């Protein structure tokens, strides 16, 4: 009887332990996945080397360590990224700050805020190829250019034209898609495209030996920031800790990518098979000079209210803003990385 009792007790205990162990295991595995908050991130413009840092942050586990399960989708320029984030289909994405100012100051968009700088200087530019007889801004008159409708290059062009002495009415713009613009230029369908200056090596790869000619907007417009990370005003207000954690993880991916451009290009290729790792590496190398502040002691991602005010003044002076805006209306300085 005692032996039977002991046997039953042992069996009962073993069953109970197995159940507890099973429940504990389920809790750990499901709890681990459930604890990761799902986030949708948009790239700035397609899937080029300049945006590979997001894939690096995911590959290296920076997002996961911060508590996020991130889905990365290709963006279609400043206007498209803002619209998608404000509409609730994505949580974060980079837009050109000047483009964001134009959207906000002209009543085209609202309810978004910038929380970190990706580039300390604008990379906006017009790209063309040798043989198109375009060597200076004035040469754009009489030419056909292509870009996405919401691109900062296209939306900022009237301001650039005024400051560069171009008659904007003599320049024709046609619509294009982010991933096909370079092919359109290489095929000779247009004379130039809206592009970031770091796109030069990728353009030359697509154009197969033809040299790219870049007309950077920064040559005539100083103090303009490049891309900034944005989120919706709603998320910034309701989830400030989430914003800070995501921003920190993305900045870590950005810093790693600049220090290891070849590896970062390989990570992009692994996730986006159509990408060109050689061109992607070159893009990152070119981008490094735009991400780093001239002040070596300034932390990556920081935003300065004075510089944003200067950007607003440049746009106002060119008559490009219909409404008066302030830096605090577009930058959540309390959420941005501190200098």
pLDDT reported for residue 98:
93
Q: Assign 221 a pLDDT band (cuts: 50, 70, 90).
A: confident
Which is higher by pLDDT, 27 or 264? 264
Q: Assign 92 a pLDDT band (cuts: 50, 70, 90).
A: very high
Residues 6+ apart with CB under 8 A from 194: 124, 125, 126, 127, 145, 146, 147, 148, 151, 153, 154, 157, 181
pLDDT reported for residue 295:
55
CATH of domain 35-121+224-330: 3.40.190.10
What would the mean pLDDT of 156-183 be, rounded to a whole number?
94
Least confident of 8-17, 204-213, 224-233, 271-280: 8-17
Query: Which of these CATH numbers, 3.40.190.10, 3.40.50.150, 3.60.10.10, 2.70.98.30, describes 124-219?
Result: 3.40.190.10
pLDDT reported for residue 19:
41
3-state secondary structure 90-128: CCEEEEEHHHHHHHHHCCCCCCEEEEEECCCCCCEEEEE
Per-residue CA distances from 105 to 7, 118, 171, 218, 315 (Å): 79, 21, 24, 21, 9
Indicate whether 16 pLDDT > 60.
no
Percent of the chain with pLDDT over 70: 88
Q: Do domains 35-121+224-330 and 124-219 have the same CATH topology?
A: yes
Q: Assign 13 a pLDDT band (cuts: 50, 70, 90).
A: very low
pLDDT reported for residue 296:
54
Write down the domain spans for the chain: 35-121+224-330, 124-219
d(C-alpha 228, C-alpha 215), whole Å: 21
Q: Whole-structure pTM over 0.75, yes or no?
A: yes
């Amino acid at each position: 009887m005692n032996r039977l009792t002991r046997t039953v007790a042992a069996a009962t205990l073993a069953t109970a332990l197995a159940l507890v162990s099973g429940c504990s295991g389920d809790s750990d595995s499901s709890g681990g996945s459930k604890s990761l908050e799902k986030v949708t991130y948009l790239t700035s413009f397609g899937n080029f080397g300049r945006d590979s840092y997001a894939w690096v942050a995911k590959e290296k586990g920076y997002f996961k360590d911060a508590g996020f399960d991130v889905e990365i989708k290709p963006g279609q320029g400043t206007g498209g990224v803002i619209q998608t984030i404000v509409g609730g289909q994505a949580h974060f994405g980079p837009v050109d700050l000047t483009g964001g100012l134009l959207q906000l100051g002209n009543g085209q968009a609202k309810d978004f805020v910038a929380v970190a700088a990706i580039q300390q200087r604008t990379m906006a530019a017009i790209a063309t190829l040798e043989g198109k007889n375009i060597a200076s801004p004035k040469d754009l008159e009489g030419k056909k250019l292509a870009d996405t409708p919401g691109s900062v290059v296209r939306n900022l062009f009237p301001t650039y034209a005024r400051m560069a002495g171009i008659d904007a009415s003599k320049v024709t713009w046609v619509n294009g898609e982010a991933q096909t613009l370079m092919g359109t230029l290489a095929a000779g369908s247009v004379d130039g495209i809206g592009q970031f200056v770091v796109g030069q090596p990728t353009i030359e790869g697509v154009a197969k030996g033809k040299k790219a000619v870049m007309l950077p907007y920064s040559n005539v417009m100083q103090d303009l920031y490049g891309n900034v990370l944005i989120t919706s005003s709603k998320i910034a207000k309701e989830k400030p800790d989430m914003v800070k954690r995501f921003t920190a993880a993305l900045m870590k991916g950005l810093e790693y990518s600049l220090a290891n451009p070849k590896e970062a290009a390989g990570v992009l290729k692994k996730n986006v098979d159509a990408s060109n790792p050689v061109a992607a590496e070159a893009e990152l190398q070119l981008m490094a000079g735009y991400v780093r502040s001239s002040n070596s002691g300034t932390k990556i991602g920081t935003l300065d209210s004075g510089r944003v005010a200067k950007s607003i003044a440049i746009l106002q002076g060119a008559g490009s803003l219909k409404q008066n805006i302030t830096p605090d209306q577009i930058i959540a300085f309390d959420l941005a990385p501190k200098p």
